[in-house]
Chains A and B, each alone.
Chain A
């Protein structure tokens, strides 16, 4: 059972470089999410996609773009990386949009540790 798969696992960038974080889920979920996790800050939502073809901003979207390529895949792009984007990034998926049901369950990938020098 693969669940949510993220690549790469680790990445080091120089300031100004660009990169795309890939995420795929095999659970036929409608909704997908990108979070960043920083010490003492918990998980903060960057962008989400309620369903294929739609994307919406979360709490901290500045400096990021996303693409819901199809129902399975949701990518996160950093166009011009900055040191403030050093973080651990998690992709997650759920059957329905959070809030629609109080029993919403998120399934997380294992994360991408990104360092921007």
Chain B
């Protein structure tokens, strides 16, 4: 079974701090996506990374795809309370073409 392991599972920080969320697997993915989900809502796509080593920036969020396309990270600079939510990574397996979700990282940013 292919798995995407996210770490940490829970993160509680103060406003203004920086943080990094990791998404790791032993399998290769043709692309990897990051979603954010707010309470009572469905996930919303933030970014898709496709090329090994690719870095994408979305305001204070920086997403990186590992060189071997087996892992990814999400870095948030100067976190704000509005960043609070569940962050999910999801990868399309190079072998099966199936989309697999990680278990999620719950982020709480305190004012």
A residues bordering B, Cβ < 8 Å?
Answer: 4, 40-45, 90, 92, 98-100, 102-111
Contacts and interface: CB of A to CB of B under 8 A. Distances in A.
Interface stretch (B14-22, B73-81, B101-109): B101-109
Q: Is the interface on chain B under 10, 10 to 19, 20 to 34, or 35 or more residues?
A: 20 to 34
Given A98-B97, A110-B40, A105 B102 contact: no
Interface of B: 4, 9, 30-31, 33, 40-45, 48, 50, 88, 90, 92-93, 96-99, 101-104
Contacts of B33: 105
Contacts of B96: 99
B49 to A, nearest CB: 10
B48 A108 contact: no
Given A42-B88, A98-B92, A111-B40, A105 B98 contact: no
Contact of A102 (B40, B45, B92, B102): B92
